[in-house]
Chain A
Amino acid sequence: MKPDSYISHLELGEKDETFLDSNELIINMGPQHPATHGVLRVILKLDGEKVLGTECVIGYLHRGVEKIAENRTYTMFNPYVDRMDYVAAVSNGLGYCEAVEKLLNVEAPPRAKYIRVILTELNRITSHQLWLGTHALDIGAITPLFYTFRDREEILKIFEKYCGARLTTHAFRIGGCQYETYEGFEQDVKKFLDFFKPKIDEYEELLTTNRIWVERTKGVGLISGKECIALGVTGPVLRASGVRWDIRKAQPYAAYSDFQFEIPIGQNGDTYDRYLVRMAEMRQSVRIIEQAVGGIPEGPIMAKVPKVLKPPVGEIYHSIEAPKGELGYFIVSDGSTQPYRLRVRPPSFVNLQALDMMVRGQLVADVIAVIGTLDIVLGEVDR
């Protein structure tokens, strides 16, 4: 394996022959680099500090999740999805469970749906908190990281009390939830919301009007709504470019149609707008949880599903709005207990494609800012 084989398309650019004959610099950023959020390797072609082109080399964390799925039963595969986007494991689980439920043509009971919404939205908050902390750290503000991690801990405690795990929760089962809410779950969640609302203001106080933060993020990594759609970019990145599209509203799943909430959008499609959109999304998540936790209906938490799951022959695609964008599951069943083929449509993987377009012509420091703002998780990019 020659390393040169990776830089092929970067060589396409015409060399700028001046009398000074400026030499282009090829820099290998990653796979071990403090700001690539895991094992992303970006090959940068630089002219001084200016980025002439990039190429992402991914796959360092490839575990063959889709192959594993073909060799596990539907139930056995459920915990594996938590290991893809490990900072938003609950969302992964929700998407998978709903996709299999759709294939089985069953529906989770309303109580289970409400619990699912509460946990998923809490998980969206943790994901955004982690994004905010690391993004700010990349841009050089080290303090927000500790603030967000302090508050994230409170949510993880709720997860731990509910299902025993903090990160890779495996909270849901096909057909509903395995666990009934514990004694005092509602109070815990309400207490957290009261605790958390002023904290969002605290984060914003640190950054939103901070001059250096604004200078570092405004106009950086521009992407228009049209380009987002062409590149398949979804989630907060798409919304910050002014496209009001959220699967929770467009094609509601779980119990989202029962709740009032808004889709925050930005106008400029730059890093600052993406920051504002995610901050607003945290507030909307709080709003959804507030409505949900007050009205959890009584009833069973599991639908009637057989012990051994044998979905009828057929194909299904189901997607949800994960914190990072559209997370889809395409499942082909051959009538046996194992999926014949399971394809995950990971939002991080597709969003990462936009990196090259967003940083071309900008500076090295902007590459870091854009990697942060795309909010990728390498576990999901590589699967």
Chain B
Amino acid sequence: MVGKLKGQFGSGISEASTYLGQNYFVVDRSLIPEFLQVLRDQEQFDYCVDITAVHYPKREKPFDVIWILYSFPRNERIRVKTLIADGETLPSSVPIWPTTNWLEREVYDMFGIRFEGHPDLKRILLPEGWKGHPLRKEYGIIQQDKEWVQINLGIESGQ
């Protein structure tokens, strides 16, 4: 599979390896919708388990976005990872897997990564109008949007 995909996408796949028995790809951001589409259509990864992101503030491209995929016919899991810069957007994968609707919203909510073409991209766990994206590393653990708390909950201290 790896060989076939590498033949198809060439140098876009910068890494394809295994860690502790789990396979993953690291691909270039430009490949994203096509690569996932191929994985679903040709390699039968019909179930998108999860989308998540990791923040590495010191890196040049600080965000890892990770798709965890599963194939029912092959009984196999795979992870696809791509690196993006702050402010950079990603094409939404809702047309490929409808389940990613809420998952992408959560990534947006927690990391501020925007997905283009998402039908209804807005915050999901945090309230509308909240400032900041809590799972970024610079967001402190006891930090809150004091202004929001004061306005909406009427708590003076903002905590």
B61 to A: closest C-beta gap in Å: 16
Given the known interface contacts A330-B66, A330-B68, the answer about A353 and B101 at a Cβ–Cβ threshold of 8 Å is yes
Which of B8-16, B27-35, B83-91, B122-130 contacts its partner?
B122-130
User: How far apart sit A141 and B135, CA to CA, in the bound complex (Å)?
Assistant: 43
Checking A70, A243, A341, A353 against B99 with a beta-carbon cut-off of 8 angstroms, the contacting residue is A353
What is the CB-to-nearest-CB distance from B127 to chain A, in angstroms, rounded to a whole number? 6
Q: How far is the CA of A1 from the CA of B119 in the complex (A)?
A: 21
List A43-81 residues whose CB lies under 8 Å from chain B.
58-59, 62, 64, 66-68, 70-71
Q: What's the nearest-Cβ distance from chain B to residue A248, in Å?
A: 13
Given A59-B125, A314-B20, A345-B50, decide whether A68 and B66 contact each other with a Cβ distance below 8 A: no
Q: Is A326 an interface residue (CB 8 A)?
A: yes
Instruction: Report which of B68, B75, B98 forms a contact with A317, defined as CB distance below 8 A.
Output: B68
> In whole angstroms, how far apart are the Cα atoms of A159 and B24 in the complex?
39
B84–chain A nearest beta-carbon distance, Å: 16
In the bound complex, what is the Cα–Cα distance between A236 and B55 (angstroms)?
A: 34
* Contact yes or no, A328 B49, CB < 8 A: yes
Question: Inside 8 A of A18's CB, which chain B residues have their CB?
Answer: none
| A319 in contact (CB, < 8 A) | yes
Identify which of A62, A330, A350 contacts B102 (C-beta below 8 A): A350
Within 8 Å CB of A58, what residues of B?
A: 124-125
Q: Determine the chain B residues whose CB is within 8 A of the CB of A319 once the complex forms.
A: 49
Q: Is A230 an interface residue (CB 8 A)?
A: yes
- Chain A CB within 10 A, most for which of B49, B50, B55, B126: B50
Instruction: Give A346's nearest chain B residue, CB to CB.
Output: B50
CA distance A326 to B99 in the complex (A): 14
Question: Are A345 and B19 in contact, CB atoms less than 8 angstroms apart?
Answer: no
A32 at the interface (CB under 8 A from B): no
Q: At the interface, yes or no: B42 with Cβ under 8 Å from chain A?
A: no
Neighbouring A residues of B110 by C-beta, 8 Å: 66
Bound-state CA distance A58–B52 (Å) is 18
Check if A317 sits within 8 Å of B99, measured CB to CB.
Answer: no
Q: With both chains docked as a complex, state the minimum distance between the C-beta of A228 and any C-beta of chain B, in angstroms.
A: 9
Q: How far is the CB of B117 from chain A (nearest CB, A)?
A: 15
B102 and A353 within 8 A (CB): yes
Contacts of B49 in A (CB 8 A): 232, 317, 319, 326, 328, 345
- CB-based contact A350/B77 at 8 Å: no
Give the Cβ gap from B87 to chain A, nearest Cβ, in Å: 20
B39 interface residue, CB < 8 Å from A? Answer: no
Interface size on A, residues (CB 8 A): 45
A333 to chain B, nearest CB (A): 11
Q: Is the CB of A245 within 8 A of B72?
A: yes
Beta-carbon contact of B68 and A231 below 8 Å:
no
Contact (Cβ within 8 A) A229 B72 = yes
The interface bits of chain A over 322-350 (1 if a CB of B lies within 8 angstroms of the residue's CB, else 0) are 00001010101000000011010100011
Contact status A232-B119, CB under 8 Å: no
- Once the chains bind, are B46 and A345 in contact (CB under 8 Å)? no
Contacts A1-B152, A317-B77, A350-B102; A345 near B68 (Cβ below 8 A): yes
- Contact partner of B54 (CB less than 8 A), chosen from A71, A250, A316, A341, is A341
A251 within 8 A of B: yes
Residues of B within 8 A of A6 (CB): 128
Q: Which of B24, B77, B101, B120 touches A8 (beta carbons < 8 Å)?
A: B120
Option from B46, B125, B128 in Cβ contact (under 8 Å) with A229:
B46
Q: Looking at the complex, which one of A62, A67, A243 makes contact with B72 (CB distance below 8 Å)?
A: A243
Q: Is A85 an interface position by the 8 A CB rule?
A: no
Contact of B134 with A232 in the complex, beta carbons under 8 Å: no
User: Which of A1, A68, A382 has most B Cβ within 10 Å?
Assistant: A1
Give the chain A neighbours of B24 by CB distance below 8 A: 315
Contact partners of B79 in chain A: CB under 8 A: 315, 317
The 3 closest A-B pairs by CB, nearest first: A232-B99, A59-B125, A343-B52
Give 13 A-B pairs besides A229-B47, A340-B54 with Cβ atoms closer than 8 angstroms. Answer: A1-B127, A59-B124, A62-B125, A229-B46, A232-B99, A243-B72, A315-B24, A319-B49, A326-B49, A328-B68, A341-B54, A352-B102, A382-B125
B residues with a Cβ closer than 8 A to A are: 19-20, 22, 24, 46-50, 52, 54-55, 66, 68, 72, 75, 77, 79, 97-99, 101-103, 110, 119-120, 122-129, 134-135, 139, 141, 152
22 contacts between A and B (CB under 8 A): A1-B152, A5-B122, A5-B128, A8-B120, A58-B125, A229-B46, A230-B46, A230-B98, A231-B98, A232-B49, A232-B97, A232-B99, A314-B19, A315-B19, A315-B66, A319-B49, A326-B49, A328-B49, A328-B50, A330-B68, A341-B55, A353-B102
